[in-house]
Amino acid sequence: MIKKKTLGHWGAATGICILFAGCASLPDREPLEGAEEAVQPMLPSPPSEAEAEHLRSEVARAISEHSVAELGVDDDLWARVRRGMGMPDARDEDRVLRYIEWHQEYSQYLEQVTARAAPFLHYILEEIEARGLPTELLLLPIVESAYLPMAQSPSQAAGIWQFIPSTGRHFGLESNWWYDGRRDIHASTQAALDYLTQLNERFEGDWPLALAAYNAGQGTVSRAIQRNERRGKPTDYWHLDLPRETQHYVPRLLALQAIVRDPQRYQVGLTPVPDEPRIQVVDTKGQIELAVAARLAGVDKETLRTLNPGFNRWATAPNGPHHLLLPADRVSDFHDGLSQLDDGERVTWQRHRIRSGENLGRIAARYDVTVGTLKEVNNLKGTIIRAGDHLLIPSPGVSRQVAAGPTQGNEPTRQVEYTVKPGDTLWHVARHHGVTVRDLARWNELSTSDILRPGQTLIIRTSGEAVSA
């Protein structure tokens, strides 16, 4: 058994750059300037007792209704991961050892990530195994994003697999007003595994080189190999002159590999995760409002949004994709409800692009709503509109509710104070209160990437039902 070590200044520096250091890039890209300063630490210091207790409760709620004690060795998803590992063992490499030491120092980090990732782990593992890929790839989103679907790097990489826009488009991930496929767990996982398979073939089965290329680009790695060939030096990952970020990227994953393979050796606890489906992909057969889908499935809207972070608006995109992730035990209810749903009940709001020559009266008549309703829901002071802009159009039923004026649950804007709890992020608080991260940050003079402190007070402006703080 390896004894835990004190990290000193190295551990502090590593804590700063443990998160968001990687992103999937097809074209070559320069290493991020000031990468260490740009990266946000998840655990810059050991968690307090209150934070640790919160994390334990989050894990307990997130992973299963079963008690951890009920899980046998074969029932634990981590045991399945161990059986499918196929990357080289590099636990004795100095860079890998340093990241193992970081996890020993901040052992609560993996608990927090496991709680966040738990709904998705079984699904992603199944997809990895179906392609015959090494199961260590399940750990790659920990390195990329800490399994934060809303994570966004300074280079605009997004989602748990951290695709930059150009690479996302290359692998079929749509990004528009309605939807960003890079944040879609299902779509981005398919794209990431496609890309990783391609890279592994390009580098003839050498996974450290393939992973380095996922981070830095194929050209960057290929040129580093060519330089070493000309100089008569070894061409394996460990001997290449790569960007600093990439030099640390692969060791982070291989440190996690070593810990998952033998957690007792390194004294890092792994929260058991039941090896059973938690989510399932369902076909919505067309556009549908998320609130309607949540009602059909019998889940709350927050749960549906957490499982489907790729959707930017209140509904799925009109032109697709027409799929959602749902809790596995709610799929049957959803299908039953969907089969009985009239087409007019699927979406109560639409988005209209103003064409040249149109006016509010013509648009209102087309959608069977009043001009006053269009002005109110789009916050228009007058009747002047511009071609190319967009209007939100309520269904006639919603239009009548708007015309009737404020009701309980649709009150004028109010301001409330929210006290940050351990484990809160701007994204979680914004989603819980039905506001955007950008607005929440603006109201509180924060950056959208700021880390919240337990006890911190946030101002939230809401026009819906009162929220408990």
Q: How far is CA 74 from CA 71, 273, 275, 347, in A?
A: 8, 11, 8, 44
CA distance 404 to 394: 14
Q: Which residues pair with 324 in a beta bridge?
A: 282
- The Cα angle at residue 297 between residues 296 and 298, in degrees rounded to 5: 95
CA distance 458 to 440: 8
Angle between helices 290-297 and 331-339 (to 10 degrees): 110
CA distance 427 to 448: 9
Backbone angles phi, psi at 279, to 5 degrees: -135, 165
* Amino acid present at 469: A
**Whether residue 144 lies in the annotated active site:** yes
Q: How far is CA 323 from CA 264, 310, 327, in A?
A: 40, 11, 13
Q: For the beta carbon of residue 457, count every other beta carbon within 10 angstroms.
A: 10
Q: Which of 136, 144, 174, 289 is catalytic?
A: 144
Q: Could you tell me the two tokens for 197?
A: 């398979």
- Residue positions annotated with a catalytic role: 144
